[in-house]
Structure 1
Amino acid sequence: MAPPLPAAAVPARPIDLRTATISIIGFWLFYFAIVTLRAAVMGFEGQFDMVGRRLVVALVGTVLTFGLYAALRPFAGQSLPRKVAAAALLTVPFATLFATFNWAAFYALDPMKPAAATRQKDGAASNGQSRWGEEAEMMMQPHVVIADGAVTWYFFFAAWAALHIALGYAQDVRLAERRAAAFRAAARDAELRALRYQVNPHFLFNTLNSLSTLVMRNRPEEAERMILNLSTFFRTSLTADAADDLALDEEIRLQRLYLDIEAVRFPDRLRIAIDVPPALADACIPGLLLQPVVENAIKHGVSRATRPVTLSIRATSVLPGRLTITVSDDGPATGNADTIAAPFDHAVESTGTGLRNVRARLAARFGDDAGIHWGPLPVEGFAVTIELPLVHHGC
């Protein structure tokens, strides 16, 4: 399948009919209002009759502008110079047609025109200005009136054509922005899925080795329980959409499954303490966000210990709208190889993949609105703290 077009390569499209209709009607309503107001202010005669004719002329102009819109549509995908040239040329016939109809409405059908022309001619002759009277009479000839009107109305139609081009570019920009946003969302989802499915193979290998040991030692019930837990864990974690969130209590349920599996490996060393207030049970977090952190604690805190180690998962909401989840262990002070020497108050770059994975998922999902901090505890043990927005619904 071909890759999607980048935002810069989005093909131009004609402006939609709704936008064109609004712009055309707005143009001609503006014409009608301005000319009618001018006639009223200047006190022209026969205003009621002129308003009717002006309305018919505006309707004809609206129809002709729709024709210009249809003529310009095929040029939507062309370059700007071609669009401008097409608009400049196509405006000529529409302006001429409108000027012709305007002449018919206000001159050919105007009963006051002959008297006005006679008065103008007689007045010019009585003052010895017959030449000016002849020029005035010539100015009333149809071809002169239409040509003069065509020039005037050309700029009116050209103004709408320029608006049409501008609206088309604005539409293309909006489309490009929407596509760019969709591409960013798709890239984010792909990154989230890739990070989500980075399951540590050591966990699976260790579990299979433990199963082998249980079978060899003839402990079928424990082996069966481990297989069931492992099956449930993978079925739940792999069938859910990697870009979806989970309720915190569901995430804790998955971690309990994982810890039950590890408890078979470390029956005398692993102790579990989980503290999630009921008010935070439905808080939404990215699915399996805690898995690498809990796995890190098992790998570096429990497996290296020779005494019982308590692994704690604690959720709090001290600040309004913020959720804090802390995963800690009181294992040996040798530290976590993935995060050794990382100060608790600063999220520095780790050398392993576990906490980098969590940080990358938080950045992809929340940007700068979430973070992860880690470091050794004052006496023994290690703690990882995740801070993210508190959302109770939408998982």
Structure 2
Amino acid sequence: MGTSVFNWLSEKLASQRYQYWALQYSGWGGYTLLTFIGGFFWVENHWLYTGYIAVATASGIAISEVMRRGFQRLWDRPAASRLVGSLFVVILAAAVWAAIKFGGSLWLYGRESDEHPVVLAVYWFSYSFLIYMTWAALYYGIKYYQASQLEQEKALKAESIAHQSQLKMLRYQLNPHFLFNTLNAISTLVLDQDGKTANTMVTRLSQFLRHSLDNDPMQKVTLAKEVEALELYLDIEKVRFVDRLQVNVDLEGDAPKGLVPSLLLQPLVENAIKYGISQREWGGEINIRARVFAGELLIEVSDNGPGVPPEALAGLGSGSGVGIRNTCERLRALYGEEQKTRFCNLPGGGLAVNLRIPFEQDA
């Protein structure tokens, strides 16, 4: 019961209309209470005084509602027009309310007063003007705050859409890049009149592309599933290399549960095959290792090929290679400064690519 009432109240207060009336009643309720306490102990007829306050409050609420409608019409005007128009509305509202309260005061206390009527009129107008200027300042302050929040939400939404579009673009770039390389290999097999092997590669290629297209490019997958997807790609390459390609996978501890961007490993392995394994007549091996350390997922993809010249290591992540550059850009877009990509030559020969990203799991 208590939870349902709380949820209902939260939903109502989320509406700007209910927020306005909640503030309206709260503000005027505070005015009524302070006015009542301020005169309760020195007025003689409390019933008349209570009636006077009720009329003053009711008229104050009604006039402020008319003011709000006037401010709404002025909202889209230029700043100078809005300022002058709002000031005129406040002056007019204060004059009307002052007349109502002044008349009520005469009815309540009579005409006995040492003050000049002009002085009394200035007093009641000044008092009413101060109240309505405060109301107008709060109204516009809240209005400008809401407009600022709305613009900020629009900016964040636009930034989010642009970010997602960038990630989708980077992710979809992998398919044409990989497809070109594979079709080139199939073309070579056809020219060599190796139709059976070419047909096998086409079948494996269709399976891999179906898998990549069926998966949401914005959805992260576990490292275990990423390795399963990688096996589809490796099935294609093993048709070409037969027993010249060996792949070793070692996922320690909670590493298989870690979430990674889809098709993260494929371009790294493809790069290792193209520049490492294919350069050696007897082939070679690729090692994929992953572990969790200090809240981070550490992934290494290495080969035992010739490696790269030391002067070329620094430019690997931003060079002309589509796969490696694409992977680095995707990680930067997803994780910002919380990720790190490092390339290094191994002492025994070959290149190692080390990735460090935050360790995340499915909720």
Q: Same fold (TM over 0.5)?
A: yes
Contact 2:254 2:292 in 1 (8 A): no
Q: CA deviation at 1:272?
A: 0.8
Q: What corresponds to 1:174 in structure 2?
A: 149
2:296 to 322, 325, 330: 322
1:266 to 209, 220, 241: 241
Q: What corresponds to 1:39 in structure 2?
A: 39
Q: Are positions 1:359 and 2:328 aligned together?
A: yes
3-state SS of 1:312 partner: strand
1:130-279 matches, within 5 Å, as 136=115, 139=117, 148-199=123-174, 203-212=178-187, 214=189, 217=193, 220=196, 222-277=197-252, 279=254
Q: 1:201 to 1:177 in 2, by over 3 A?
A: closer
Contact 1:269 1:305 in 2 (8 A): no
Q: TM-score, normalised by structure 1?
A: 0.79
The CA deviation string for residues 173-193 of structure 1, in whole angstroms up to 9 with x for no partner, is 111111111111111111111
Q: 1:364 to 1:279 in 2, by over 3 A?
A: same
Equivalent position amino acid for 1:54 in 2? I
Using the TM superposition, name which of 323-332 and 21-30 deviates more. Answer: 21-30
Q: Are positions 1:73 and 2:85 aligned together?
A: no
Q: CA deviation at 1:351?
A: 4.9
Contact 2:296 2:358 in 1 (8 A): yes
Q: What corresponds to 2:6 in structure 1?
A: none
2:344 and 2:176 mapped to 1: Cα distance?
Answer: 25
* RMSD of aligned alpha carbons: 2.8
Bigger relative contact order (CA 8 A; separation at least 6):
1
Q: What corresponds to 2:24 in structure 1?
A: 24
Q: CA deviation at 1:34?
A: 2.6
Q: What corresponds to 1:5 in structure 2?
A: none
Q: CA deviation at 1:289?
A: 1.7
Q: 1:367 to 1:265 in 2, by over 3 A?
A: same
1:73-112 matches, within 5 Å, as 73-108=72-107, 110=108, 112=109
Equivalent position amino acid for 1:45 in 2? E
Larger gyration radius, structure 1 or structure 2: 1
Equivalent position amino acid for 2:83 in 1? V
Q: 1:336 to 1:233 in 2, by over 3 A?
A: farther
Q: CA deviation at 1:201?
A: 5.3
Q: What corresponds to 1:368 in structure 2?
A: 337
2:305 to 331, 352, 359: 331
Equivalent position amino acid for 2:205 in 1? L
Q: CA deviation at 1:39?
A: 2.4
Q: What corresponds to 1:58 in structure 2?
A: 57
1:202 and 1:304 mapped to 2: Cα distance?
Answer: 20
Q: What corresponds to 1:127 in structure 2?
A: none
The CA deviation string for residues 221-275 of structure 1, in whole angstroms up to 9 with x for no partner, is x444322221121122134332221222221122111111111111232101112
3-state SS of 1:197 partner: helix
Q: What corresponds to 1:290 in structure 2?
A: 265
Q: What corresponds to 1:130 in structure 2?
A: none
Q: CA deviation at 1:218?
A: 5.1
Q: TM-score, normalised by structure 2?
A: 0.85
3-state SS of 1:242 partner: coil
Q: Are positions 1:385 and 2:360 aligned together?
A: no
Contact 1:96 1:150 in 2 (8 A): yes
1:75 and 1:45 mapped to 2: Cα distance?
Answer: 45
2:90 and 2:181 mapped to 1: Cα distance?
Answer: 78
Q: 1:336 to 1:244 in 2, by over 3 A?
A: farther
Q: CA deviation at 1:60?
A: 2.1
Q: Which runs of 5+ in 1 are unaligned?
A: 1-14, 121-132
3-state SS of 2:356 partner: strand
Equivalent position amino acid for 2:313 in 1? A
Q: CA deviation at 1:370?
A: 1.3
1:293 and 1:328 mapped to 2: Cα distance?
Answer: 9
Q: CA deviation at 1:49?
A: 4.0
Contact 1:363 1:370 in 2 (8 A): yes
Contact 1:269 1:309 in 2 (8 A): yes
Q: CA deviation at 1:307?
A: 2.3
3-state SS of 1:378 partner: coil
Q: 1:45 to 1:185 in 2, by over 3 A?
A: same
3-state SS of 2:313 partner: coil
Specify which structure has the higher proportion of helix. Answer: 2
Q: CA deviation at 1:206?
A: 4.1
2:110 to 113, 127, 152: 113
